[in-house]
Amino acid sequence: MRITQGTFSYLPELTDEEIALQVAYVLDQGWPCSIEFTDDPHPRNSYWEMWGLPMFDLKDPAGVLLEVNECRKAYPGHYIRLNAYDARYGRQTTALSFIVQRPAEEPGFRLERTEASDRRVQYTTHPYALDRPQGDRYAR
Amino acid sequence: MTETGSARVGFGMRPGGAAAAAEEEAAVVETLPPDASIDLAEERAESHVDEVLDALDRELVGLVPVKTRIREIAALLLVDRMRARFGIDSGRPNLHMCFTGSPGTGKTTVAVRLAELLHRLGYVRRGHLVSVTRDDLVGQYVGHTAPKTKEVLKRAMGGVLFIDEAYYLYRAENERDYGQEAIEILLQVMENQRDDLVVVLAGYKDRMDSFFSSNPGMSSRIAHHIDFPDYAADELEAIGTMMMEREGYKLDPAAEPVFRDYVERRRAQPRFANARSVRNAIERARLRHANRLLDAGGAVDLAALTTLAADDFLGSRVFGPRP
């Protein structure tokens, strides 16, 4: 099951050139980029691990792409996303966030039903990948 | 934080259709047939390269070898661009450079112009200049250097990285110096990311020579070693006149021979720093000029406020103790 999180997630995977164009737009807006990765892409897991610090003062997408590729090299079987933060007053939030790498195989989620008192049913989504230990969740 | 684009703060679609259309148009330039020909003059005018070269000629006095080399580079990039239109892919030329020369010969000034020129010719994408020294590249403890150097390199991507006094990176007397680590990262990026950044090293001639002899890999990765010659006396005079014009001063006709004499005498003295010394001389002349006006008291007119007289230069110590 293909996970759809962030911008562009219903489009085909962006190529590196397309990512560079998006980053160029982001930098033109004056938003610093940061890179995050995880192997637990549950929709409720909003805090992914940071890859290095956010990158300030960059002018050109090549610098961001360099870090993306470094992260891909270190974590080939993880989800990697690129965030752009808009620090203007009145916004001060993530302005753009999209996935730049995903594992080759995404096993998806199962729905768990728990029966509570009075036959009420509580639903949980459980990622199959989470059954394995961290770092070993997605086959390369 | 600078406000970019529309003043509206918030979410939603932003108008960007026109830019996207222009980009698409640029991408669909097809290769020319082999029997086509390109108008050289038109191509040249289109790139606006002449404006930068002319400004270089106009605003920088002397430096003939430097200007020649920069003209050659501009010509090569222009020709490469036309070759690309015929579909010949010749690979990007290596444009890493080394500027050597005495203090005050205009190395930094030329580097700024170079960034602009390369941007006009489409060699670098942004055309900004990141000027750094050893402090910005080398860390203070183990593991500090690599991230620091990479940070600087990332910032310079799409533009020109200017490393002033580059010979300080390597300290021969201390083999555990972190400078070596910075050099290694620099070399790696200079080789692998040639499309993304141009590195310009600058420094004094003799020290750069010993730097290169202890780092042969660095020397061979730099295609252009440009030597900035010392200025002749008349060139220094021309530089001085231009500096005064820029500051809104002019030289009293009677002061011209004095200024020439000053330059001659200053040149013969130790620690002469070419254009920088001339700038300092003018700064000091301005001080004496202001002091002289205040001492004289009374009314001043525009001419008095903007004219540097012979006395303002004669007060300098190069003329010896005043009688």
DSSP string, B265-320: HHHHSTT--HHHHHHHHHHHHHHHHHHHHHHH-S---HHHHHEE-HHHHHTSGGG-
Which residue in B1, B10, B128 is closest to A59 by CB distance? B128
Q: What residue ranges define each of the domains in chain B, with the CATH number in brackets? A: 39-228 (3.40.50.300), 233-319 (1.10.8.60)
B159 and A90: CB-CB below 8 Å? no
Q: Which residues of A touch B193 (CB under 8 A)?
A: 62, 66
More confident residue, B10 or A118: A118
Helix axes B64-85, B49-59, angle to 10 degrees: 180
Average pLDDT rounded to a whole number, residues B71-92: 84
Nearest C-alpha in A relative to B2: A30
Question: What residue numbers bound the domain in which A56 lies?
Answer: 16-105
Look at A77-91, B46-60, B146-160 and tell me which has the smallest mean pLDDT. Answer: B46-60
| CATH of residue A95 | 3.30.190.10
Our CA-based measurement puts residue B73 at a distance from the nearest CA of chain A, in whole angstroms, of 23
Our CA-based measurement puts residue B293 at a distance from the nearest CA of chain A, in whole angstroms, of 46
pLDDT of residue B127: 86
d(CA B152, CA B159): 12
Look at residues B115, B193, B123, B121 and name the one whose alpha carbon lies nearest to residue B154: B193
B193 and A66: CB-CB below 8 Å? yes
B193 and A62: CB-CB below 8 Å? yes
Q: Which residues of A touch B155 (CB under 8 A)?
A: 57-59, 63
A28 and B4: CB-CB below 8 Å? yes
Kindly tell me if the per-residue pLDDT of A2 is higher than 80: yes
Which residue in B1, B5, B10 is closest to A87 by CB distance? B1
pLDDT of residue B310: 87
Taking the model in full, what pTM does it have? 0.79
Q: Is residue A11 one of the residues assigned to a domain?
A: no
d(CA B278, CA B273): 8
Q: Is residue A137 one of the residues assigned to a domain?
A: no
Cα of A83 vs its chain's centroid, Å: 8
Q: What's the pLDDT band for B5 if we cut at 50, 70, 90? A: very low
pLDDT digits (tens, 9 = 90+) for A78-119: 999 999 999 999 999 999 999 999 998 888 899 999 999 999
More confident residue, B201 or B322: B201
pLDDT digits (tens, 9 = 90+) for A10-60: 999 999 999 999 999 999 999 999 999 998 888 889 899 999 899 998 989
Q: Is residue A121 one of the residues assigned to a domain?
A: no
d(CA A72, CA A104): 13
pLDDT of residue B59: 81
pLDDT of residue B322: 55
Look at residues B99, B93, B94 and name the one whose alpha carbon lies nearest to residue B112: B99
The total number of structural domains that make up chain A: 1
More confident residue, B233 or B34: B233
A with B: how many residue pairs have Cβ under 8 Å apart? 53
Exposure string over B174-201, b if 16+ CB within 10 A, otherwise e: eeeebbbbbbbbbeebbeebbebbbbbb
A93 CB-contact burial (10 Å; exposed 0-12 / middle 13-18 / buried 19+): exposed
pLDDT digits (tens, 9 = 90+) for B123-143: 888 889 999 999 999 999 998
Looking at chain A, the whole-number percentage of residues with pLDDT higher than 70 is 99
Q: Which residues of A touch B143 (CB under 8 A)?
A: none
pLDDT of residue A48: 94
Q: What's the pLDDT band for B268 if we cut at 50, 70, 90? A: confident
d(CA B210, CA B223): 18
A60 and B159: CB-CB below 8 Å? yes
CB proximity under 8 Å: A 79-138 to B? 87-91
A59 and B158: CB-CB below 8 Å? yes
Kindly tell me if the per-residue pLDDT of B314 is higher than 70: yes
pLDDT of residue A139: 64
Q: Do you know the residue count of chain A?
A: 140
